[in-house]
Amino acid sequence: MNAKSIILGALIGGIASAATAIILAPKSGRELRQDIAAKSGEAGVILKELAYNATDLLQSVQVLSTEGTTLLKDLSTDIKESVANWNEEMEPEKARLKEEIKDMQKTISDLEKTLKKDKKESN
């Protein structure tokens, strides 16, 4: 819902309630005219306040949107940098683990050969 719809709804509601109150109130013509003048002045003040508040709200939403976009961009950049740094830091570990796996495979292969050799000798 946008601010324009809210302002329009409040204006229409205010006018309808003022008209209903004036029509249903049993007053003389002079009192009725005085009430109409007073109520229209009050309605003008309320409408000005409402317009000011709507403008203020719109500006706040725009600022929040801009700051939120900037914050998300900064956060995205920070995350990308952190992942890149982590990958760089892990490269030596990856290489070390690959070497350890190769060593383990060689040891297993050597053990298998030894077991086969021992088995042949015992037969």
Confidence (pTM):
0.40
51: which residues sit within 8 A by CB, 6+ positions away? 7
Q: What is the mean pLDDT of residues 104-115?
A: 90
Mean pLDDT of 61-83: 88
Residue 34 to residues 20, 27, 41, 44, 87, Cα–Cα distance (Å): 16, 10, 11, 16, 79
Tens digit of each residue's pLDDT (9 = 90 or more) over 84-109: 999 898 888 888 999 999 999 999 99
Residue 121 CB-half CA count within 13 A: 6
- Residue 44: the pLDDT is 78
Mean of pLDDT over the chain? 82
In this structure, are residues 68 and 60 in contact, taking their beta carbons and an 8 Å threshold? Answer: no
pLDDT score for 105: 93
The answer to whether residues 45 and 70 touch, using CB atoms and an 8 Å cutoff, is: no
**Confidence bin at 81 (pLDDT 50/70/90):** very high
CA distances 123 to 111, 116, 118, Å, are 18, 11, 9
Backbone angles phi, psi at 76, to 5 degrees: -60, -45
Q: Per-residue pLDDT averaged across 58-63, rounded?
A: 85
Report, as an integer, the average pLDDT of 18-39: 72
Which residues, 6+ apart, have CB-to-CB distance to 58 below 8 Å? Answer: 3
Read off the pLDDT band of 1 (50, 70, 90).
low
Residue of higher predicted confidence among 39 and 100: 100
